[in-house]
Copies of this chain bind each other. A is one copy, B any other.
Amino acid sequence: MAETSGPPRAAPIFERICLIGVGLIGSSIAHVARHKGLARTIVVSDASSDVRRRVAELGLADKVAETAEAAVHDADLVILCVPVGAIGEVARQIAPHLREDAILSDVGSVKNAVIAEVVPFLPQNVHFIPAHPVAGTEESGPDAGFATLFRNRWCILTPPPEADPQAVARLAAFWSAAGANVEIMTPAHHDLVLAITSHVPHLIAYNIVGTAADLEEVTQSEVIKFSAGGFRDFTRIAASDPTMWRDVFLNNKDAVLEMLGRFTEDLTALQRMIRRGDGQGLFDLFTRTRAIRRGIIEQGQETAAPDFGRRKAEPNGE
């Protein structure tokens, strides 16, 4: 096969990757796969004809298929990038059309529920290796993706115990080449870890924005004006895709309710400290929480630049 011009690059990890669903994550995978030469051919499909049209305009893929069934044809890697609630139906549709020895993966934010949805339809000789790249922005849709979204983020794989180690290694190599650090854990542990690091934070962000919107003594205009006091940071999270997040909460119910229970217990204790005027207790907690942030910055999961002030964002900043 003739080499394309440009800088030399490693051989593609996959011949033909297929992405079903082209939102933020799907489009970011397409960008990075193209940019890094991770696949010879990129085929995508999306249930929405508007999205398919937009993907074609953006030139995100080599081929935009009309249906998921057609898209998966001959692909050696198929990644389901649809909301968790839609995964079972897509799996049912594509299962008979999957190539033998194909790797089937996903990017869902919950893993036990995804496995339960997909496994009943799984053909013999297809390697199902669930995955979750822990990365995102508050934007959605095919225009939102970019090639560096996964860089220095973690991608969690939750292969079943009987998974083919070579298939797991190939998928891990794909995500590493996309810039991510790869970690392997059980689906149940994934769901617990993400409940506290992602799902409950989103839930309480959505909740406080809702609480603020419903007040009568404080107008919505006042909430907006004075949001720089801390509130606006929650609205960023609470602007995330509603369908995706509905599905996360419906499909990680047990772990979310467990972590939410602990959050509420702790909040009740904090409430009591305020009511009783326990300044030392408040001070101790507020000091302890700084250590975790230091760890996050040290491990490159966050920038240390002060961002509350949004200095860079200021028009005519001096």
Contacts and interface: CB of A to CB of B under 8 A. Distances in A.
Interface of A: 35, 85, 109, 134-139, 144, 146-149, 151-154, 156, 181, 183, 189, 192-194, 196-215, 217-218, 220-240, 242-243, 245-247, 249-250, 253, 256-257, 259-260, 262-264, 266-267, 270-271, 273-275, 277, 279, 282-283, 285-293, 295-296, 299-303, 305-315, 317-318
A223 B301 CA distance: 11
Nearest to A204: B204
A313 B308 contact: no
Q: Which of A199, A201, A295 has the most CB of B within 10 A?
A: A201
A17 to B, nearest CB: 20
A286 B242 contact: yes
Given A138-B306, A293-B235, A229 B201 contact: yes
Given A274-B257, A318-B35, A231 B279 contact: no
5 contacts: A196-B208, A198-B230, A207-B285, A246-B279, A250-B274
Contacts of A144: 306
A286 B202 CA distance: 10
Contacts of A286: 206, 238, 240, 242, 245-246
A296 B232 contact: yes
A283 B224 CA distance: 22
B290 A238 contact: yes
A230 B202 contact: yes
Nearest to A35: B318
A301 B148 contact: no
Contact of A198 (B205, B226, B299): B226
Nearest to A316: B151
Contacts of A85: 279
5 A-B pairs with least C-beta separation: A198-B229, A303-B313, A137-B306, A242-B286, A137-B308
Given A152-B314, A228-B154, A208 B204 contact: yes
Given A229-B198, A274-B256, A296-B232, A289 B136 contact: no
A119 B203 CA distance: 42
A204 B201 CA distance: 10
Nearest to A245: B286
Contact of A299 (B153, B181, B224): B224
A231 B196 contact: yes
Contacts of A232: 293, 296, 301-302
A225 B310 contact: no
Contact of A235 (B202, B263, B266, B292): B292
